[in-house]
Amino acid sequence: MPFIPHTPEDVSTMLGAIGAASIEALFDEIPPALKTGKLRDVPDGLPEMAVARLMQERASQDGFWSNFIGAGVYEHHIPAAIWQIVTRGEFYSAYTPYQAEASQGTLQLIYEYQTMMTRLTGLDVSNASLYDGASALAEAALMAVRSHKTSRRVLVPKTVHPIYRRVAHTTVKNQGIELVELEFDSTTGKTVLPADPGSFAGLAIPQPNFFGVLEDVHAMTDWAHANNALAIALVNPTTLAVLEAPGQWGTKGADIAVGEGQPLGAPMASGGPYFGFMCCRQEFVRQMPGRIVGRTVDLDGKPGFTLTLQAREQHIRRSKATSNICTNQGLVVTAATQYMALLGPQGLAKVASVSHAGTIALADRLAAIPNVARAFASPFFHEVVLKLNDSAKDVLRALRAQGILGGLDISGWYPELGQAILVCVTETKTAADLDHYVQQMERILSKRREAPPCAYKS
């Protein structure tokens, strides 16, 4: 907090009132072995003005970068009104609205959020919410296994974000659930479905996938259902303004849709906090984790809102509970609600369309540079993989020196692609930004081709 009002005298008075000798005595139940002791790396306290100066200096060291990295976190324009509204006290300090009579404003907002998400995904029910996109995928895998009741295997393509796969594996591995990875076609970048998958509870279907490639979601959804498994859509919510909703995939539609909500009004903020969203068909609602708000009427016929399908089960069912989410992501959900309300369907579609057009323009221009090529011959959205006939790490370092975050080096995650970078464009990038990127890439690669080979001394 920016201001702590308690003087040493205030603290002493409060300790005396509760009969404690010191603040340390309040925590005497903690075993000494668990205490860290003095924080030796934390400097001594400073006056407020000196702290403000120090933090300004450190913030300035971050510099300003023209960002072309996506990979799950996207730099979108956030209207100023959103966080001005979200940080009002009634939102900023709101607790999980267990007491409906005291929380109608928060409950109504969550209900509006759920309505917006079901319309985006084309499914029946939305929760509010999960920790992030990676944990949402893990929860969807658990949900599929609970619903299937027979198989404890979930198919997860390698075209799913590598970090999402790691988080999901960590979450489910000790519950005897196996995540089976599916390969992708080296030409198209699309998932290859196995001829004989055996029994499995669910199939994760990324759209677009980690490479930005658009998967054949209709065929994958129908294939999952034909094998008696749930279809789990893993989607970027921005793209749903222009792409088919998961509820319309295949003959029956996807069963569950999850993803990262950060594009909907949350700043990148050095990695969070973000939130994960989850929607599903009505028949699976009792397996859905997280909070659900319902609309009802009171005895006088007036509309009201309340948490529904929840009995504080995280406190009473322990290992059998489906819910482990409370207040922590509610504030970011509030921002997402304001963002979607302010932009509306047309605004969201414009953000998606402008981002897509920018990515196409940049990809075409970069692919025209010698020693740069698109990795996959497939339609893509929002992001694209480019292969370099040079060190991706070194090229990105040279671009950074020019104030450009040129993309994400994915060579370590996908060595079969060689030297490859994942590049993203959003509506925040101007024509001048694209020009600068292309010019610097062309200059850097040209200089590296002309540079003489290094001579090593024995």
The pLDDT value given to residue 455: 37
Same domain for 403 and 267: no
Identify the pLDDT of residue 100.
84
Q: Is residue 456 a part of any domain in this protein?
A: no
- Which H helix or E strand runs over 362? helix 330-367
Q: Is 30 within the bounds of a domain?
A: no
Neighbour tally for 119: CB within 10 Å: 16
Is 305 in the same domain as 362? no
Distance of CA 407 to the CA centre of its chain: 18
Average pLDDT of 247-276? 95
- For residue 326, pLDDT over 80 is answered with no
Whether residue 187 is found in the same domain as residue 314: yes
**What is the arithmetic mean of pLDDT over 256-263?**
97
H or E element: which one contains 121?
A: helix 104-121
CATH number for the domain that contains residue 397: 3.90.1150.10
- Other CB atoms closer than 10 Å to residue 294's CB: what's the count? 13
Q: Do 215 and 311 belong to one domain?
A: yes
pLDDT of residue 83: 93
pLDDT at 37: 79
**CA–CA distance, 107 with 101 (Å, rounded to integer):** 10
CA angle 11, 14, 18 (to 5 degrees): 140
**Cα pseudo-dihedral 83, 246, 408, 160, rounded to 10:** 130
Do 330 and 360 lie in one domain? The reply is no
pLDDT digit string, tens, across residues 349-373: 999 999 999 999 999 999 999 999 9
Residue type, 430: T
Does pLDDT of 313 surpass 60?
Answer: no
What's the number of domains the chain is made of?
2
Q: Distance (Å, rounded) from C-alpha 344 to C-alpha 349? A: 9
Tokens (6 digits) for 132:
């992030």
Among 371, 419, 369, 415, smallest CA distance to 393 is for 419
Find, among 316, 436, 304, the residue nearest to 365 by Cα: 436
Task: State mean pLDDT over 392-407.
Answer: 97
Query: SS3 for 180?
Result: strand
Q: Could you tell me the CA-to-CA distances from 264 to 207, 305, 327, 427 in Å, in that order?
A: 17, 24, 19, 13
| Residue closest to 374 by CA, chosen among 356, 365, 387 | 387
**Residue where a domain terminates, one of 339, 358, 382:** 339
- Judgement on whether residues 271 and 356 belong to the same structural domain of the protein: no
Q: Token pair of 52, please?
A: 């403000």
How does the average pLDDT of the chain come out, rounded?
Answer: 91
What are the distances in angstroms from CA 223 to CA 45, 48, 250, 254, 329?
61, 61, 9, 11, 34
CATH code of 262's domain: 3.40.640.10
Query: Of 271, 196, 266, 209, whose CA–CA distance to 236 is shortest?
Result: 209
Extract the tokens encoding 342.
Answer: 């302010």
Buried b (16+ CB within 10 A) or exposed e, 42-66: eeeeeeeeeeeeeeeeeeeeeeeeb
Give the pLDDT band (50/70/90) at residue 310.
Answer: low
Task: Check whether residue 357 and residue 317 sit in a common domain.
Answer: no
Of 389, 365, 363, nearest in space to 376 by CA: 363
Distance CA 207, CA 144 (A): 19
In this predicted structure, the answer to whether residue 247 has a pLDDT above a threshold of 50 is: yes
Contact in structure between 351 and 238 (CB atoms under 8 Å): yes
Mean pLDDT across the stretch 126-142? 94
Query: Does residue 267 share a domain with residue 131?
Result: yes
Q: Letter for the amino acid at 455? A: A
pLDDT tens digits along 183-242: 999 999 999 999 999 999 999 999 999 999 999 999 999 999 999 999 999 999 999 999
Establish whether the linkage from the previous residue to 273 is cis, with ω within 30° of 0.
yes
- Is the Cβ–Cβ distance between 279 and 133 less than 8 Å? no
pLDDT at 314: 52
- The per-residue pLDDT for 456 is 33
Tell me what pLDDT residue 312 has.
Answer: 54
Q: How many CB atoms lie within 10 A of CB 416?
A: 10
**Closest of 25, 50, 13, 74 to residue 263, by C-alpha:** 74
List strand residue ranges (DSSP E) for 44-173, in order. Answer: 66-67, 125-126, 153-157
Distance separating alpha carbons of residues 8 and 57, to the nearest angstrom = 31
205, part of any domain: yes
Please indicate, yes or no, if residue 29 is contained in any of the structural domains: no
| Contact present, 238 and 263 (Cβ < 8 Å) | yes
Is the pLDDT confidence value at 453 over 60?
Answer: no
80 phi, psi to nearest 5 deg:
-60, -30
Q: Is 6 within the bounds of a domain?
A: no
Residues 367 and 300 in one domain: no
228 with 355, same domain: the answer is: no
Instruction: Quote the tokens at residue 240.
Output: 């749903």
Mean pLDDT, residues 301-316 taken together: 75
Angle at 140 between CA 71 and CA 168, to 5 degrees: 55
- Above 60 in pLDDT, residue 288? yes
Residues 6+ apart with CB under 8 A from 210: 71, 159, 160, 161, 162, 422
- Range(s) of the domain holding residue 407: 66-72+345-449
pLDDT tens profile 34-83: 888 788 888 888 888 998 999 999 888 878 899 999 999 999 999 999 99
Structure-token pair, residue 273: 């906090």
Q: Both 277 and 132 in a single domain?
A: yes
